[in-house]
Structure 1
């Protein structure tokens, strides 16, 4: 009941502001304000406000939101742990194929997957000079520092 009253008052206030705006010959702005002012009363008449008010004070709905949050947290956590292992999805697939080709048992496949994936990664260049390569991310930073004499 209170929510409907507040929405109705907001609509009336918005329509008043739109009338003042139209009186000042700003018809485009007045039309936009009128559109915004009609939204709250439209929500009341369609029953959305009553539905939202019913949800806001229902404990089972809040428990549902908590469960959805816990599920989302589990998804995010497992994804982060998966990424921390350092293997991309393609590397895991390639390592799994290599393990299948070699006939490694599924129980022993986790260390074998890591070993096969690291074997497929390109090795670092020995004897690095410490200078950035043209395709390196730090080449533009080095150029700026050299320009300023640092």
Structure 2
């Protein structure tokens, strides 16, 4: 109740300043002052002032618990261990480690593929219209670029 009254007083004072500024024929500035002056009453009516107070109180309580409760320290330790484990798995995966999975076999029932995926030869393609049109050199270059993923 007191917060709402304080916000109303702030808005009234701001609107009085806006009226005074408009009297001096500075309408654009007066409109800006009125817009800012209406904010406190709007925040109070929407309940955001009390929400801010509750957030501030909760943050202060949490900070006090952080200082005085060892369980909060242990919680941050657990979060740190979790981050380290996740980072380590990302690092191992980036270096080429596997998760125990093998690539799919080339032949159903085979234990592993005959050639790794990266060393398998790409099938040779022939250009449409097999007549020699002078572009056969470019077809070879195109095939090499496609193999390298460019």
- Structure-2-length-normalised TM-score: 0.43
Higher relative contact order (CA 8 A, sep 6+): 1
